[in-house]
Amino acid sequence: MSKKRKENEKKFGFWINLPDGGRRYFYEIKGKHGWSARYVKEVDQAEITVRFYQEIYDQNGTLVEIHEKYPVDKGHIKVLKGETK
């Protein structure tokens, strides 16, 4: 196991193996008013980051906003009702 993979596993705690051999790491933070944020890092087979973004969920667990930060910071993007990621 690579040093970088070990670091990502420790930092994020949860991950999904992707079909291309990469991984999607994530962890959640609960907010004061029932909302939550999920930080997601996608890496390739060599554990090189290909995408990093934040998902914002309301008190009902509905995804309401995405903030893609890497490779390009696109700012906060509202998710329309019925739209899935």
> Which pLDDT score is estimated for 1?
78
pLDDT at 31 over 80: yes
pTM, two decimal places: 0.86
List b or e across 16-42, with b for residues whose CB sees 16 or more CB atoms inside 10 angstroms. Answer: eeeeeebbebbeeeeeeeebeebbbbb
pLDDT at 83 over 60: no
Residue 84's pLDDT band (cuts 50, 70, 90) = low
Domain boundaries, the chain: 3-78
Mean pLDDT of the chain: 93
> Which pLDDT score is estimated for 32?
85
Supply 62's token pair: 């509905």
Q: What's the mean pLDDT in 5-29?
A: 97
